[in-house]
C-alpha cells in the first residue's frame, strides 16, 4: 500500500480534503486499519468523519473487486446508522463468499450483515449471529445493540469480568439497554465506559443515558416538582451538554438535548436557545418536541390597539392570542369582561381544559377592588381544583404559575398554596414556582410550613425573596437579630431593592437601635434608591421620615417631586402631614435638595407666574422651570422685589415650602373621589369660618352615616365595624362602637370557654372596654396573667401619647353644631379611661409568636379587622393562649373553630364581685345609657333605689326601662318590683315635690320616681300571673299597699300614679278596681288561713 499525503494548514491530515489515500493492487485483508478507523468513527457516531474517509476511498479507481465490495459494505453500514436501509444485501453476501477473506474482515462484514438483517428480518439476523460462533468485538457489539433481549444483556454483563469487556462490547450493551429501555443498566455501563475508555463517545453516551433515567424517573413529575438534588443533576447535565456541544459534533447530542428539553418543560433558556438552532434535527427524532419548541418560540404579533374579540368561542390558538393581548395591554380588561358576561367561552375539545382556561381568564380580568368578584373567584378556583387532581397535575405548570401570581395580587394566597402544593416536594429546588409557593405560604401566615420547606436550602440556594420572607418571619417571632442577619444577606444579593432596607430599619428599630445607629443604616442605602422616584421606594422613605430623620426624608421627597410632580404629590403630602409632630419648631431643614430649587413668583409685565426652579430633571411640567434655561438663569440670580430684563421677582420661597404648596394643589385637583385629601379655600369673611367648617364636616359625616347603617347589623362583629368606621385608629373605633347605642345594642359578653386559665390574651377593643368600664385595677389583680401582642401594646401607647399632647385637637359636628375636643377636655373627661389603659399596660406581658401555621379562618378575615386585632387572634392561636375578647361574635367563631377562648362573662363577673357598688356604678351607667354590655346585679339596682341621689334614681329608671321585660330572672318578680316601687315612691313622698303632681303636671318635680313606677307597672303586666293586664297590675298595687305603712297622702300618690298609668295604657278602670278588690280578698283569706294555722 502506498500513501501519497498532502497537507494544507494547521493540524493533522486525516479528514476531508486534508488527506488522500491512493491504494493500488491491494486486497481487502490489507485494509484492516482503514476498516477499524471507519468503524471507530461510526461507533463514535462521528459520521461526518466516516463519510469523508469513505468518500476518499470511493474515489479511488482500479480497486480489486473484493476491496470495492468491502467499501460498499462500509458505506452500507454508514447508511444504516444514519437510518437509511439499502434495498439489497447482495454485495455483503458476495463478499462473504470470498475464500481469502481474513477473519477480521469477515467479522466486520458479518456484523454489518447482522445490522442490516436486524432491520429487515430480526429472526434471520439472530440465526446468523448464532451460526457465526464468533467472539469478535464487532459482531458482539451489533448483536447487543440491535438484537439482544434485556435478559441476554444482563446475563452477559453479569457473567463477564468487567475488566475483560472491550470498548465495542460495552458500547453495544449500552445501546442495547437503551433499546430495551433498561436505563439503569445503560447508565451503569456508560459510567464503566467513561471510566475505562474515556472519549467523546463515552461522555455522549453517559449524558444520554443519564437523561433517559431522568425521563424515566420523572414521568409523572413536573420539572418544578423536582427535588433540589434532582434539579442539581439536571443542571450538571445541561452544563456538560453545552460543553460537549462546543467541543464536539453537536448532532451527536440531539437525543440528549431532546430529553432535557422535555424534562425541563422548555423552561431552561440555554436548552431552549440550543433547541431552536437544531429544531430540524430534533424533528427527525421527536416531531412533537420540535412542534412545541416552534410553538413556544413563535412571536405573537398583534397590532397595538387592534385586537378584537370577534367570536363568542375561542380555540386554543385564539386564546393564546387573547392571553398575549391582555399581558401587553392590547385589549382592555373591561372588554374581555364584557365578552365573558355575554357568554364568551374557550373551546379546546376538552371540557376539563376549557374549565381551566375559563378560571384562568376570570382571574386575569378580576378587579382587585371588587371583593365580591374575588370571593366568587376563590370559590370557583376551589371547585376546579377538586374536580380531578390527576388531570390537574398534568396542566402546563407555566399556566398555573401565571394564574397563581394573579391570585397573589388578588390577595388569594390560600388558593395559591392549594394549587402549588401538589407540585412542591419537601426538598424542592428554587424555581419561580417554588418562590411563588413560599411567598403564598408567608402571605397565608403558614410560618411553620414555610420554615420546613426551606430547611434543606443552603445559603447559596436562597434568593432575595426567600431571605426577605424568612427575615420577616423571624421578626414576627421576635428573633430580631436573626432577622437582621437574613435581611443583610438579602441586601447583599441585590442592594438596589428598597424593601430589605425598609425591613432592616424596622427590625433594627424594634431591636432597640438608637436613632444614630438607624441613620448609619440610612447612609448605607445606595444612592440609586433615594435619588430616583419609584413607588416601591415610598415605604422606605416613610420609615425614615417617621423614625429616623424627617428632614432627610423630606429632602428626598422634594427631589422626587420635581422628577414627577403628579405621582409624588400624594405620598409627599401624606408623609409630610403624618410627620408634623416629628419636626422642629422652626421647621428648618439642614439638607439642601439636589434637584429642587427655590419657588419663584414673578411677572413679565403682563401675567404672574408661580414655578419651581429645578436642575437635572425633565422640566416639561408647567409648574417647573429649568434653572439652566435663559429665564431660569435670570430668576436664579434675582432677589425678591428686583427686576431684570423685563421680569420682576415678586416672591421667593424655600424649596421645601414651594414644593409642598404645589404638591397640595396638585393632589387636591387630581382627586377622583378615592382620596380623603382635599384642599379648601377659607371664606374671606372670618365670621363665615365656623359655618364653612360645619358644612364640610356635615358633608363627610353624612356619607359615614350611610355606611354605618349597614355595619350596625346584629350579625356584624364589633371588630369589623371598628375597622370600617375608623380603619387607622383602632382605639377610637373601639370607643365609638362600644358606646354608640346603634352599635352596642347588639353586643353581648361571650359566656362559654375557659373560666380559669393561667393566662389570657386581650386585644385593643377588650383593653378599651375594661378601662372604659372602670375595671382595670380589679382586672389586673385576677389570677390570670395578661398577654398582649406587640402591635396591641404599640397601638395603645401611641394613642395615649398622642391624645395627651398639649396641641391635641379634634373637631366634629352634632345636631347642635360644630364642637371641638382639646387636650384640656381629654384630661377632664377621659382621664379615667387613660388611667385604666395605663394600668393595663403596666401589667401586661408581650409574648413572641411561635412559628405555627395560622388557621385559614383567620387569614380570610385579615382584611376585615385591624392589624392589632389580627395580631392578637394570631398570637392566641400560635401560643395557645385563651382569647379574652369583648366581641362575642368573634369569640363564638373562634371557639367553634376549636381554638382557645376564655369566658368573658365569667371574668367580668369576677371583677364585679371584687368591686363596691360605687365602683360598679360607672359600668352600670355606661351600660344603661350607651348599651355597652355588662352584667348588672339586681341587688345593685335595689340599693340604688333607696339612694337619695337623683342620678341613682335615673339609673334605676333606665334599668327598668331596658330590662323590665325580663324581671322574672329575679325568681320573685312581684316582691322585687314591689320593693323597687316602694323605695322610689317613698323617697319621692318624703321629698314631697311629687305630691303636687309628676313631671307632666308639676314643672318643679325633676325626679324619676314617676318613671320608675310606670316601668315597674309595665313590667308587672308582662311578668306577673293573671289572665288580664288589669289583674297583673292590681297584683303589684295591692302588694305595695298591703306591705307598706300607709299615710293618707302616700296612698293618694299611689292612686294618682296608678290612675295615670292605667289611663295611658288604655286599661279598664272598673276591671282594675275589681281586680284590686279581688286581690285584697285573696290576701285577707290567706292571712286568716295563716292565722288559724298558727
Residue-wise pLDDT for 478-510, tens only, equals 999 999 999 999 999 999 999 999 999 999 999
Residue 313 domain-assigned?
Answer: no
- pLDDT tens digits for range 228-251: 888 888 889 888 888 887 766 666
Phi–psi pair at 644, nearest 5 degrees: -160, 130
Do residues 811 and 906 share a domain?
Answer: yes
CA 705, CA 697: separation in Å to the nearest integer?
12
- CB of 826 within 8 A of CB of 808? yes
Neighbours of 569 (CB within 10 A): 23
Do residues 744 and 887 share a domain?
Answer: yes
Residue 598 domain-assigned?
Answer: no
Q: What per-residue confidence (pLDDT) applies to 1093? A: 43
Do residues 213 and 203 share a domain?
Answer: no
Helix (H, G, I), strand (E, B) or coil at 332: coil
Do residues 1012 and 1053 share a domain?
Answer: yes
Do residues 954 and 1019 share a domain?
Answer: yes
Which of 298, 333, 357 is a domain's end point? 298
Decide if pLDDT at 701 tops 80: no
- pLDDT tens digits for range 939-962: 999 999 999 999 999 999 999 999
Decide if pLDDT at 785 tops 80: yes
Give the contacts of 609 (CB within 8 A, at least 6 positions apart).
601, 602, 603
Radius of gyration of the chain (CA): 46
- pLDDT tens digits for range 663-676: 999 998 888 777 77
Do residues 758 and 889 share a domain?
Answer: yes
Give the contacts of 825 (CB within 8 A, at least 6 positions apart).
none
Q: What per-residue confidence (pLDDT) applies to 703? A: 53
Helix (H, G, I), strand (E, B) or coil at 430: coil
Do residues 896 and 751 share a domain?
Answer: yes
pLDDT-wise least confident of 332-336, 371-375, 688-692, 768-772:
688-692
Do residues 90 and 127 share a domain?
Answer: yes
- pLDDT tens digits for range 188-235: 999 999 999 998 889 889 999 998 988 888 777 777 778 888 888 888
- pLDDT tens digits for range 1056-1093: 889 989 988 899 999 999 999 998 888 888 777 766 54
Distance of CA 611 to the CA centre of its chain: 43
Q: What per-residue confidence (pLDDT) applies to 25? A: 44
Q: What per-residue confidence (pLDDT) applies to 9? A: 37
Q: What per-residue confidence (pLDDT) applies to 632? A: 92
The mean of the pLDDT values for the chain is 86
Q: Give the max Cα distance, the chain.
A: 161
The dihedral sign for the CA sequence 195, 196, 197, 201: negative
The dihedral sign for the CA sequence 1007, 1008, 1014, 1017: negative
Closest by alpha carbon to 327, among 300, 295, 352, 348?
A: 300
Q: DSSP string spanning 222-243?
A: -GGG-BHHHHHHHHHHHHHHHH
Which of 279, 298, 317 is a domain's end point? 298
Cell 434637584 locates to 595
Residue 604 domain-assigned?
Answer: no
Do residues 874 and 975 share a domain?
Answer: no
Decide if pLDDT at 17 tops 60: no
Q: What per-residue confidence (pLDDT) applies to 149? A: 92
Residue 908 domain-assigned?
Answer: yes
Residue 116 domain-assigned?
Answer: yes
- Report how many domains make up the chain: 4
Do residues 706 and 774 share a domain?
Answer: yes
The DSSP symbol for 891 reads: H
Residue 618 domain-assigned?
Answer: no
CA 813, CA 819: separation in Å to the nearest integer?
6
pLDDT band of residue 697 (cuts 50, 70, 90) is: confident
Residue 396 domain-assigned?
Answer: no
Q: Taking the C-alpha atoms of 908, 913, 915 and 916 in order, what is their torsion angle to the nearest 10 degrees?
A: 140
Q: Domain range for residue 980?
A: 937-1093
What percent of the chain has pLDDT above 70? 92
pLDDT band of residue 303 (cuts 50, 70, 90) is: low
Do residues 214 and 226 share a domain?
Answer: no
pTM: 0.81
pLDDT band of residue 728 (cuts 50, 70, 90) is: confident
Do residues 738 and 753 share a domain?
Answer: yes
Residue 867 domain-assigned?
Answer: yes
Neighbours of 494 (CB within 10 A): 12
Decide if pLDDT at 700 tops 70: no
Q: What per-residue confidence (pLDDT) applies to 708? A: 57
Amino acid at each position: 500500500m502506498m500513501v501519497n499525503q498532502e497537507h494544507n494548514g494547521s493540524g493533522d491530515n486525516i479528514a476531508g480534503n486534508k488527506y488522500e489515500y491512493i491504494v493500488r493492487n491491494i486486497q481487502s485483508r490489507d485494509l484492516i486499519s482503514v476498516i477499524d478507523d471507519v468503524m471507530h468513527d461510526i461507533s463514535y457516531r462521528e459520521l461526518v468523519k466516516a463519510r469523508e474517509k469513505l468518500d476518499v476511498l470511493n474515489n479511488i479507481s482500479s480497486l480489486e473487486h473484493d476491496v470495492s465490495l468491502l467499501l460498499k459494505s462500509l458505506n452500507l453500514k454508514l447508511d444504516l446508522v444514519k437510518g437509511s436501509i439499502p434495498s439489497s444485501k447482495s454485495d455483503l453476501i458476495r463478499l462473504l463468499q470470498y475464500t481469502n477473506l481474513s477473519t477480521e474482515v469477515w467479522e466486520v462484514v458479518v456484523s454489518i450483515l447482522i445490522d442490516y438483517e436486524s432491520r429487515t428480518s430480526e429472526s434471520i439476523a439472530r440465526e446468523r449471529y448464532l451460526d457465526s460462533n464468533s467472539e469478535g468485538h464487532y459482531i458482539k457489539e451489533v448483536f447487543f445493540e440491535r438484537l439482544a433481549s434485556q435478559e441476554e444483556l444482563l446475563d452477559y454483563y453479569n457473567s463477564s469480568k468487567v475488566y475483560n469487556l472491550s470498548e465495542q462490547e460495552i458500547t453495544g450493551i449500552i445501546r442495547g439497554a437503551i433499546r430495551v429501555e433498561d436505563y439503569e443498566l445503560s447508565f451503569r455501563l456508560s459510567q464503566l465506559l467513561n471510566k475505562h475508555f474515556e472519549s467523546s463517545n463515552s461522555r455522549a453516551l453517559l449524558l444520554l443515558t443519564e437523561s433517559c433515567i431522568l425521563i424515566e424517573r420523572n414521568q409523572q413529575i413536573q420539572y418544578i416538582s423536582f427535588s433540589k438534588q434532582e434539579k442539581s443533576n439536571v443542571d450538571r447535565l445541561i452544563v456538560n451538554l453545552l460543553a460537549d456541544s462546543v467541543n464536539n459534533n453537536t448532532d451527536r447530542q440531539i437525543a440528549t438535548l431532546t430529553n432535557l428539553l422535555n424534562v425541563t418543560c422548555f423552561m431552561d433558556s440555554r436548552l431552549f436557545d440550543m433547541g431552536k438552532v437544531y429544531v430540524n434535527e430534533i424533528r427527525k427524532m421527536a416531531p412533537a418536541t420540535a412542534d412545541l419548541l416552534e410553538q413556544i418560540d413563535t412571536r405573537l404579533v398583534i397590532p397595538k390597539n387592534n385586537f378584537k374579540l370577534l367570536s363568542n368561542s375561542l380555540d386554543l390558538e385564539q386564546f393564546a392570542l387573547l392571553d398575549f393581548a391582555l399581558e401587553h395591554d392590547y385589549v382592555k380588561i373591561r372588554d374581555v369582561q364584557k365578552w365573558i358576561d355575554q357568554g364568551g367561552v374557550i373551546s379546546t375539545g376538552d371540557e376539563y381544559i376549557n374549565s381551566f382556561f375559563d378560571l384562568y381568564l376570570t382571574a386575569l380580568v378580576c378587579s382587585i377592588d371588587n371583593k365580591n368578584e374575588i370571593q366568587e373567584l376563590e370559590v370557583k378556583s376551589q371547585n376546579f381544583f377538586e374536580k380531578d387532581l390527576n388531570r390537574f397535575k398534568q396542566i402546563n405548570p407555566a399556566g398555573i404559575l401565571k394564574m397563581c401570581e394573579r391570585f397573589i395580587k388578588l390577595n388569594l394566597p390560600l388558593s395559591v398554596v392549594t394549587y402549588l402544593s401538589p407540585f412542591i416536594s419537601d426538598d424542592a429546588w428554587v424555581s419561580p414556582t417554588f418562590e411563588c409557593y413560599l411567598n403564598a405560604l408567608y402571605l397565608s401566615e403558614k410560618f411553620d410550613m414555610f420554615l420546613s420547606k426551606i430547611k434543606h436550602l443552603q445559603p447559596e440556594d436562597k434568593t432575595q425573596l426567600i431571605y426577605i420572607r424568612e427575615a420577616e418571619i423571624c421578626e414576627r417571632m421576635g428573633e430580631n437579630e436573626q432577622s437582621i442577619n437574613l435581611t443583610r444577606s438579602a441586601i447583599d444579593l441585590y442592594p438596589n431593592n428598597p424593601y430589605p432596607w425598609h425591613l432592616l430599619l424596622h427590625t433594627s428599630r424594634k431591636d432597640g437601635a438608637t436613632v444614630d445607629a438607624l441613620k448609619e443604616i440610612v447612609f448605607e442605602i445606595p444612592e440609586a434608591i433615594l435619588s430616583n422616584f419609584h413607588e416601591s421606594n415610598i415605604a422606605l422613605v416613610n420609615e425614615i421620615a417617621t423614625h429616623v430623620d424627617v428632614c432627610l426624608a423630606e429632602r428626598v421627597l422634594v427631589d422626587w417631586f420635581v422628577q414627577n410632580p403628579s405621582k409624588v404629590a400624594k405620598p409627599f403630602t401624606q408623609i409630610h402631614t403624618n410627620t408634623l409632630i416629628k419636626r422642629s419648631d422652626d421647621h428648618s431643614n439642614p439638607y439642601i435638595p439636589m434637584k429642587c430649587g427655590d419657588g419663584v413668583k414673578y411677572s413679565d409685565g403682563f401675567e404672574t407666574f408661580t414655578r419651581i426652579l429645578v436642575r437635572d430633571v425633565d422640566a416639561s411640567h408647567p409648574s417647573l422651570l429649568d434653572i439652566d434655561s435663559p429665564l431660569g438663569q435670570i430668576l436664579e440670580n434675582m432677589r425678591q422685589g428686583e427686576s431684570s430684563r423685563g421680569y420682576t421677582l415678586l416672591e421667593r420661597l424655600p424649596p421645601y415650602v414651594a414644593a409642598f404648596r404645589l404638591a397640595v394643589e396638585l393632589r387636591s385637583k387630581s382627586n377622583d373621589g378615592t382620596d380623603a385629601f382635599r384642599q379648601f379655600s377659607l371664606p374671606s369673611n372670618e365670621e363665615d369660618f365656623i359655618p364653612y367648617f360645619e358644612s364640610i364636616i356635615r358633608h363627610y359625616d353624612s356619607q359615614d352615616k350611610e355606611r354605618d347603617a349597614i355595619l350596625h347589623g346584629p350579625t356584624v362583629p364589633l371588630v369589623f365595624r371598628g375597622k370600617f368606621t375608623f380603619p387607622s385608629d383602632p382605639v377610637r373605633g373601639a370607643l365609638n362602637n362600644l358606646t354608640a347605642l346603634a352599635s352596642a345594642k347588639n353586643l353581648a359578653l361571650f359566656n362559654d370557654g375557659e373560666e380559669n386559665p393561667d393566662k389570657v390574651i386581650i386585644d385593643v377593643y377588650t383593653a378599651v372596654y375594661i378601662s372604659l368600664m372602670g375595671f382595670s385595677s380589679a382586672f389586673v389583680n385576677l389570677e390570670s396573667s395578661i398577654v398582649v401582642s406587640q402591635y396591641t401594646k404599640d397601638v395603645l401607647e401611641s394613642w395615649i401619647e398622642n391624645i395627651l399632647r398639649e396641641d391635641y385637637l379634634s373637631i366634629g359636628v352634632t345636631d347642635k353644631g360644630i364642637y371641638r375636643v382639646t387636650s384640656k377636655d381629654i384630661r377632664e373627661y377621659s382621664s379615667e379611661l387613660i388611667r385604666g389603659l395605663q394600668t393595663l399596660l403596666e401589667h401586661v406581658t408581650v409574648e413572641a409568636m411561635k412559628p405555627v401555621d395560622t388557621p385559614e379562618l383567620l387569614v380570610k378575615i385579615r382584611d376585615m379587622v385591624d392589624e392589632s386585632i389580627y395580631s392578637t387572634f394570631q398570637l392566641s392561636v400560635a401560643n395557645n393562649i385563651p382569647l379574652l375578647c369583648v366581641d362575642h361574635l368573634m369569640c363564638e367563631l373562634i371557639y367553634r373553630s376549636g381554638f382557645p377562648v376564655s369566658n368573658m362573662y365569667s371574668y367580668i363577673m369576677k371583677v364585679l364581685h371584687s368591686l363596691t357598688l360605687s365602683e360598679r356604678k360607672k359600668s352600670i351607667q355606661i351600660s344603661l345609657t350607651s348599651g355597652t354590655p355588662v352584667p348588672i346585679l339586681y341587688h345593685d339596682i335595689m340599693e340604688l333605689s333607696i339612694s337619695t341621689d337623683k342620678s341613682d334614681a335615673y339609673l334605676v329608671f333606665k334599668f327598668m326601662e331596658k330590662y323590665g321585660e325580663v324581671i322574672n330572672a329575679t325568681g320573685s318578680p312581684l316582691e322585687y318590683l314591689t320593693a323597687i316601687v316602694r323605695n322610689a315612691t317613698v323617697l319621692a313622698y318624703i321629698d314631697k315635690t311629687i305630691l303636687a303632681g309628676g313631671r307632666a303636671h308639676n314643672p318643679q318635680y325633676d325626679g324619676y320616681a314617676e318613671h320608675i313606677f310606670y316601668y315597674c307597672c309595665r313590667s308587672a303586666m308582662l311578668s306577673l300571673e293573671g289572665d288580664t293586664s288589669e289583674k297583673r297590675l292590681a297584683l303589684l298595687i295591692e302588694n305595695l299597699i298591703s306591705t307598706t305603712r300607709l299615710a293618707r297622702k302616700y296612698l293618694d300618690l299611689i292612686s294618682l300614679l296608678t290612675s295615670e298609668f292605667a289611663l295611658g295604657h288604655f286599661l279598664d278602670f272598673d276591671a282594675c278596681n275589681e281586680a284590686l278588690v279581688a286581690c285584697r280578698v285573696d290576701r285577707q283569706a290567706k292571712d286568716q288561713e295563716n292565722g288559724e294555722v298558727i
